[in-house]
Amino acid sequence: MKDAITLVVFLVLSFLVGGVGGQVTQSALVDWYPALEKPFLNPPDAVFPVAWTILFITMSVAAWLVWRQGWREPEAVKRALRLHFLQLLLNMAWSVVFFGMRWPLGGLLVLVPFWLIVARMAQEYRAVSAPAFWLTIPYLLWIGFAAFLNIAILALN
């Protein structure tokens, strides 16, 4: 039962971050974001909520898998989960800066440490749980793709 409750907590925290990001993003989607010139690889707007839903689920399951190893590798688990919570803050910060402040350069300045923290988190996960590591790879790739889109939007506008 404790395992299930902990997984729900990880999911709730991730979706709270997503909810804040979504709220901040909504007003920008009405007028600012549609008016921006975007790169040819920019996916349709409908892709983003689906992708983020999947990523919030996988990142939560990955953190939960690491948490479950706490009794075996307590220090490694603490390091990994600190990075997990830090990347959640950076995830939310990117939405606030890019969409809320409507500042693509600032968004990029958040994305660089965000990607680096997730890469470090993946390394820490690998030491504790191989499945958690593999669940983190799509997230790392998506953030890299977001950086590409962010740079392109900055260059085109």
Query: What is the chain's pLDDT, residue by residue, as a tens digit (157 residues)?
Result: 778 999 999 999 999 999 999 999 999 999 999 999 999 999 999 999 999 999 999 999 999 999 999 878 899 999 999 999 999 999 999 999 999 999 999 999 999 999 999 999 999 999 999 999 999 999 999 999 999 999 999 999 9
Name the architecture of domain 2-156: Up-down Bundle (1.20)
* pLDDT of the residue at 2: 79
Alpha carbon distance 35, 23 (integer Å): 19
Alpha carbon distance 152, 157 (integer Å): 8
Please give the structure tokens belonging to residue 32: 């600012």
SS3 call for 42: coil
User: Which residues, other chains included, contact 62 with Cβ-Cβ below 8 Å and sequence gap of 6+?
Assistant: 125, 129, 131, 132, 133, 135, 136
- pTM for the complete prediction? 0.94
- Write out the H or E segment, with its range, that includes residue 56: helix 47-67
* pLDDT of the residue at 70: 82
Residue whose structure tokens are 């901040």: 24
Alpha carbon distance 58, 11 (integer Å): 9
In angstroms and rounded to an integer, the radius of gyration of the C-alpha atoms of the chain is 16
Give buried/exposed letters for 25-55 (b at 16+ CB in 10 A, else e): beebeeeebeeeeeeeeeeeeeeeeebbeeb
Domain range summary for the chain, segments of one domain joined by +: 2-156
User: Which residues, other chains included, contact 126 with Cβ-Cβ below 8 Å and sequence gap of 6+?
Assistant: 132, 133
Alpha carbon distance 92, 21 (integer Å): 6
* pLDDT of the residue at 71: 77
